[in-house]
């Protein structure tokens, strides 16, 4: 299975708000799309268990209760930038990916900011209403020019940067504050970065804010900050309601300290009657619009198509690229990581199914995940970590409807006491593969120890008895996962379907005996591979055996005669058949693995 769990054929997507026809058309190619506008909260709760994806704009409230009820939900898509209406923390605990479209409407928001600024500076809404009312009030509606004025920008992100460039085109000076902004990017846009908000506020004639609404930005422009601004300055908010203290803003307009405000977003939308937001809208020196920052034909189309493409990719098993509750995967890493995500999940599942049937596997919860060669150059290994956790616990434990993925893998690992130590070696692998990943399970008594760094030493087991060696290595060949080592055996097989892995002495007729037993039970063999003991690994084992004494391993122990038979079969092999292979077929042990 891919990192994000697969759904049944034609997964269902609920769309309770208006999305562009082109975006919906993308979804309808492979998904069942259910457009249900105007749902009440109770109606949403009732039907959400039937859906794998939920696509919203800003009206639908995706609460923790809704997410908990969505037993099959894999992804919540927000067609826009902000996710204020989605309980992201609850989604994270449940392993539900929350995606947005961070770039689709940035141009529209920036243009709306400039449009509001010009409307406020030149009294355009008031002038239009006056003229339509039969008046001609040129002297009352004298405005101010923006050329030569200073625009202050709080938040020099994607929107803020476009606003800055547009303002420079109007002949404005632009000062900004943003602790995370690149000085080089600001310089290239001719923006003067200032060290603090208190340094910015006294310099501006117009102030605009372009930050998300988080704890540190809620009410960040209040009475104290407004008092630091010039008398007669003007402010704009096309970001998020709540970044401006609406009560303080109303007082500053009433007192005349601020000459005007242009507001597109409010603390409550639509504003409640007699609230501070409603009073601001009614104020004569306020230009107000009903959250139109992203409301252009082009922006609506862009965000809808973007979020629909992401939903398709995630439900198809791909890694999210704009998830707000998952690490960012850079485009150049995305293509390289995807096949290895598949590989590592298979390795984890193979480990659990093949090794945990042995008593020696009990209580092993500490693992080394070793990256060798090109794969070690990947900066973001979170998807690989998550894939391993999912593979390890998937065959033996129910997660009660929770998806194990990059969103919640670390949380689940902590809850279950699983420790993963990641190691990296950029040296070429010792197996002629361009990339190699090795999984080493630690014996309980050595859980606190770590193998030495480096490719060769990292892949070698600690000096323990041969039956304690629980190591799986794998690589990818043209995006196809391959297992190259299983314990002390060098092999090469694709970890797919139902596999029967037989540990036996390699003697004449063994294959025929195994085939005969399976044939009697109507088990068809699709493919077969035989893996002999690796000579290099055998030398390591012999040195261990000498150190621990032959008596411990048995005088008749002849590891060079051992082999693995790896059979791809067409159905699950029942326990009685496995017992027959051991008792009648002379197999030392056998495990059935479903991948």
Q: List, by residue number, the catalytic residues.
A: 240, 269, 291
DSSP 225-293: HHHTSPTTEEEEE-S-TTSB-HHHHHHHHHHTSEEEEEES--SSSSPPTTSHHHHHHH-TTEEE-SS-T
What is the C-alpha separation between 349 and 593, in angstroms, rounded? 8
User: Which residues are within 8 A (CB) of 236 and not within 5 positions of it... i.e. 6 or more apart?
Assistant: 113, 116, 117, 120, 206, 207, 208, 209, 261, 262, 263
Q: Would you say 338 and 313 are in contact if contact means Cβ atoms under 8 Å apart?
A: no
What is the C-alpha separation between 589 and 238, in angstroms, rounded? 67
Find, among 289, 272, 276, the residue nearest to 244 by Cα.
Answer: 276
The tokens for 199 are: 């340094």
Q: Would you say 75 and 48 are in contact if contact means Cβ atoms under 8 Å apart?
A: no
What is the C-alpha separation between 7 and 403, in angstroms, rounded? 11
Q: Would you say 361 and 355 are in contact if contact means Cβ atoms under 8 Å apart?
A: yes
Find, among 502, 506, 509, the residue nearest to 486 by Cα.
Answer: 502
DSSP 166-201: HHHHTT-EEEEE-TT--HHHHHHTT-EE-S-HHHHG
Identify the three-state secondary structure at position 147: coil
What is the C-alpha separation between 165 and 168, in angstroms, rounded? 5
């Amino acid at each position: 299975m891919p990192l994000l769990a697969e759904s049944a054929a034609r997964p269902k997507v609920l769309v309770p708000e208006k999305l562009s026809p082109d975006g919906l058309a993308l979804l309808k190619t492979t998904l069942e799309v259910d457009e249900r506008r105007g749902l009440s909260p109770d109606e949403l709760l009732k039907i959400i268990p039937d859906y794998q994806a939920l696509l919203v704009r800003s009206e639908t409230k995706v609460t923790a209760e809704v997410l908990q009820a969505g037993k099959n939900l894999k992804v919540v898509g927000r067609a826009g930038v902000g996710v204020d209406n989605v309980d992201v923390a609850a989604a994270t605990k449940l392993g539900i990916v929350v995606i947005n479209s961070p770039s689709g409407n940035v141009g529209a928001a920036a243009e709306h900011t400039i449009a509001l600024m010009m409307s406020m500076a030149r009294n355009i809404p008031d002038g239009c209403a006056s003229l339509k009312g039969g008046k001609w009030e040129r002297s009352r509606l004298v405005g101010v020019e923006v050329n030569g004025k200073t625009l202050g920008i709080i938040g020099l992100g994607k929107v803020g940067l476009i606003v800055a460039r547009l303002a420079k085109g109007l002949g404005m000076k632009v000062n900004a504050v943003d602790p995370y902004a690149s000085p080089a990017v600001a310089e290239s846009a001719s923006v003067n970065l200032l060290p603090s908000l208190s340094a910015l506020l006294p310099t501006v004639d117009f102030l605009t804010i372009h930050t998300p609404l988080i704890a540190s930005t809620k009410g960040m422009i209040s009475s104290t900050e407004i008092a630091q601004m010039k008398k007669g300055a003007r402010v704009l908010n096309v970001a998020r309601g709540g970044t401006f203290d609406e009560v303080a803003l109303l007082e500053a307009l009433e007192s005349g300290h601020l000459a005007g405000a242009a507001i597109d977003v409010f603390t409550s939308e639509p504003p409640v009657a007699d609230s501070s937001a409603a009073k601001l809208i009614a104020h004569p020196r306020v230009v107000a619009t009903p959250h139109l920052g992203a409301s252009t034909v082009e922006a609506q189309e862009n965000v809808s198509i973007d979020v629909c493409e992401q939903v398709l990719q995630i439900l198809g098993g791909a890694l999210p690229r704009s998830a707000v509750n998952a690490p960012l995967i850079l485009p150049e890493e995305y293509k390289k990581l995807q096949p290895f995500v598949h590989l590592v999940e298979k390795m984890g599942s193979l480990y659990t199914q093949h090794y945990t049937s042995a008593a020696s596997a009990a209580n092993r919860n500490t693992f080394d995940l070793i990256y060798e060669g090109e794969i070690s150059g990947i900066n973001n290994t979170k998807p690989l970590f998550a894939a391993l956790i999912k593979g390890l616990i998937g065959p033996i434990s129910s997660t009660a409807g929770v998806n194990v993925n990059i969103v919640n893998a670390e949380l689940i690992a902590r809850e279950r006491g699983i420790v993963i130590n990641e190691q990296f070696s950029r040296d070429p692998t010792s197996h002629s593969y361009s990339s190699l990943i090795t999984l080493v399970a630690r014996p309980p008594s050595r859980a606190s120890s770590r193998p030495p760094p480096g490719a060769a030493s990292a892949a070698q087991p600690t000096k323990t008895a041969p039956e304690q060696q629980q190591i799986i290595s794998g690589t990818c060949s043209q995006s196809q996962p391959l297992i190259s080592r299983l314990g002390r055996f060098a092999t090469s097989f694709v970890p797919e379907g139902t596999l029967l892995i037989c540990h036996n002495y390699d003697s004449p007729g063994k294959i025929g005996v195994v085939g005969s037993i399976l044939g009697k039970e109507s088990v068809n063999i699709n493919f077969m591979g035989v893996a002999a003991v690796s000579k290099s690994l055998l030398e390591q084992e012999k040195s261990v055996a000498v150190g621990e004494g032959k008596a411990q391993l048995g005088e008749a122990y002849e590891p060079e005669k051992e082999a693995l038979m790896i059979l791809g079969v067409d159905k699950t092999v029942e326990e009685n058949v496995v017992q027959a292979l051991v008792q009648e077929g002379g197999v030392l042990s056998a495990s059935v693995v479903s991948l």
